[in-house]
Chain A
Amino acid sequence: MQRFHVGDAVRARVMNPAGHTRLPAYLRGKPGTVESVHGLFPLADERARGVEDASRQALYTVAFRAEEVWGADAGEAFAIHADLWDGYLEPEISR
């Protein structure tokens, strides 16, 4: 299932699963914007556990602004893009 669309404001969840995940720690809790949508892919977290029928989730490229990831110490404005499954994200409430 696809909850988000290009341009949506999202936030990477704060999570620390015991097993494998493809959500990098440095992006957890950070707000970003959906940059592109790639269709459904089996969730790596489940595949790593040997789940035969891993759930297929929408995969997005999410753009993060350096200052949102590293704070004012980012040094300059640059963008970090990461490919994240639907379950790694929550909608960002506009501030």
Chain B
Amino acid sequence: MTNDDDFAAYQFLAQETEDHRWAFGTGFSDPLEGIDTSVPAGVDAAALAAYCLALGDDALIYSHRLQQWVTRMPELEEETALANIALDLLGQARLLLSRAGQAEGAGRDEDRLAFFRTEGEFRNVRLVEAADADFAELAGRLLVFSAWRLALFGELTGSADPVLAAIAGKGVKELTYHRDYAAQWVIRLGDGTELSHARMQAALAVIWPLFDELFRADAVAARLPGAAADPAGLRAEVDGVLDAVLGAATLDRPEGAPMAPVAGQTGRQGVHTEALGYVLAELQSVARAYPDATW
């Protein structure tokens, strides 16, 4: 046997195939590819704009609150998990605000809507405004938010607006994971040590007054039959999920009174808690200091 033969044998074994980079991510796709973005006949464009704006605001504000946890999480692995979740929600916010701008037709893009509206023009629910006081509150709020939003997006996958349906279809997979992640931590803490149980129970007491607002009748949704979801119709599913998680976590459902509306108005009408102003100050400061700056 010659050395040339040796070489040929090794070369044969080492030869590259088209799959040599298979370990890298492949197969990325655009969820809105090929979808007609004109507002369908029979859908009230102004109401659709307002509806997408509200759903976008929920994601935008909550994403910002979750981002504030980055560098403060108890473990590096958890930090990445939470950053992923915040990014998923930011992605949902971008698509929804863009859709709101399209349906509105006044030339406002996602950035204009995110960075140049005042507090009273935001339409997010009040649940997403406060900073979490501790990790238990983070887990509890994320559980409530993602259980509710998953039920909502599940309905919206059948929306008469194809763009909203596609955004919801993408979001359902993300939110399923968020809910799973949050439920896992609520159960670990609730069914953990005496201290973790007490803190998880205390966190739920802080969050629960904001729960009923998620299911309040919404005049905007009412103008969008077939395109929007009826908030009250989501309650049974969300209750079922939360009861199952709280049961497994040996936690009690808090019984405190809901946070009262102000003159009959809540987040969806632009009436917010004090905390939103602080979020917006941070979120919008750069865009307002350097309007239309690019990099």
Does B associate with A?
Answer: no
Enumerate chain B interface residues (CB-CB to A < 8 A). none
